[in-house]
Amino acid sequence: MSYSELCIEERATIQVSLEQGLSIRKVADLLERSPSTISREVRRNRSSDG
C-alpha cells in the first residue's frame, strides 16, 4: 500500500468544497482520494470552536 500526503492545494480544495456544502464523499471523488482520508484530514484540522 502506498502513502501520499495531501498537498496544500488539496487541503485548500477540501476547505472550499466543504464550505460550499459538498459532502466528504463528493470531495473525495473530486480529489480521487478515499473518503476516510478526507474525513481524517478534516477531523485532524478542526478548530476547537467547530
Instruction: Dump pLDDT digits (tens) for 21-44.
Output: 999 999 999 999 999 999 999 999
**15-24 average pLDDT score:** 97
Q: DSSP state, 6?
A: P
Confidence (pTM): 0.84
pLDDT band for position 15 (cuts 50, 70, 90): very high
User: How far is it, in rounded angstroms, from Cα 45 to Cα 50?
Assistant: 10
User: How far is it, in rounded angstroms, from Cα 16 to Cα 18?
Assistant: 6
* Percent of the chain residues topping a pLDDT of 70: 96
pLDDT of residue 50: 59
